[in-house]
Chain A
């Protein structure tokens, strides 16, 4: 168990990254397949998710290099919680904006909840996950596996996340265009409108 647990934590951090990759891909699906434009608060929640995941990514990369110390592990977890707390702040604001009876909410609901409600649930899960990892830290400082197959799998997870963040950069360039901030209720891609004069 003493040898197994650090590896379990290592893969648990990958599950954290993969979970947010799934959530961000879901947001992309709603944006590009269903044609719903993300509002400024929606984008801010994505930033919270990415900030939070960067905490896990930092720990993973240091564990892979073999220079992860308990202090750096806690620093990474702190980044994860801070990112989740910032994202939750935005989620709560958006939930309260639409909490009155009869308000249809912003965008479409998924399994009964709007995306900002789901976002708050994910931020809460991150906080709980980090709490459990922190309690178990004396026996569970993440340790990377030695096998090349496992390291390749880890690299794939890491790069999928990085590519997804890069895709978000491209998407926001099209959404925001030459404006300083997003409009409150976007209905088109600003960059295309600005270039074509639409």
Chain B
């Protein structure tokens, strides 16, 4: 998953530099963003052991 996210981020950067259509850039950025949040959710496996 990390490889996919970073590959998407690199793709987004290259699309920006090459002046690709905005819809491709935004789509690539948003997919990377959503995958990042999904991966974060995957790694959050337990509630924090804290009491305030």
Binds B, one of A111-119, A124-132, A166-174: A166-174
15 A-B pairs with C-beta separation under 8 A = A40-B2, A44-B39, A47-B9, A47-B32, A50-B6, A54-B12, A54-B13, A54-B16, A57-B16, A58-B16, A61-B17, A165-B6, A165-B9, A166-B10, A172-B3
Find out whether the CB atom of A162 lies under 8 angstroms from the CB atom of B10.
Answer: yes
Find out whether the CB atom of B43 lies under 8 angstroms from the CB atom of A169.
Answer: no
State how many residues of chain A have any CB contact under 8 Å with chain B. Answer: 42
| A100: min CB distance to chain B, Å | 8
Q: In the complex, which residues of chain A have a beta carbon less than 8 angstroms from the beta carbon of B43?
A: 40-41, 44, 181, 184
Find out whether the CB atom of A176 lies under 8 angstroms from the CB atom of B48.
Answer: no
Q: In the complex, which residues of chain A have a beta carbon less than 8 angstroms from the beta carbon of B19?
A: 61, 65
Find out whether the CB atom of B13 lies under 8 angstroms from the CB atom of A83.
Answer: no
Interface centre among B19, B33, B44 (most CB of A within 10 A): B33
State how many residues of chain B have any CB contact under 8 Å with chain A. Answer: 30
Known: A54-B9, A169-B6. A61 touches B16 (CB 8 A): yes
| Complex CA–CA separation, A172 to B4 (angstroms) | 10
Q: In the complex, which residues of chain B have a beta carbon less than 8 angstroms from the beta carbon of A96?
A: 48, 50
Which of A86, A173, A181 is close to B36, meaning CB atoms less than 8 Å apart?
A86
